[in-house]
Amino acid sequence: MPLNELAAGTRVVGEKQVLRALGRDGLQKLFVAKDVEPERLRPLLEGARALGVEVEWADSRLVLGRACAIDRSASAAGLLRP
């Protein structure tokens, strides 16, 4: 899983920010953690599917947060379109 993409590109972190970016059709790729409750991920995954955004899974929220260079866990993150 190439989470290093998050360190190199312009990103958004967190469910609310990712949902906003999906609403603007501004996401290139969506990253979600496997240890998040499915009902919390449903709107993100449905939005990504509707827009044809690629989805990548991280092993845990902690791993995803570290990949985003933040000092806390993250349930979702996304790479913004250039």
pTM: 0.91
Burial of 45 (0-12, 13-18, 19+ CB in 10 A): middle
Residue 73 CA to residue 42 CA, distance in Å, equals 19
Q: Would you state the pLDDT for residue 62?
A: 95
pLDDT average, residue stretch 40-60? 95
Q: Would you state the pLDDT for residue 6?
A: 80
Higher pLDDT, 2 or 64: 64
Q: Is the pLDDT of residue 22 over 60?
A: yes
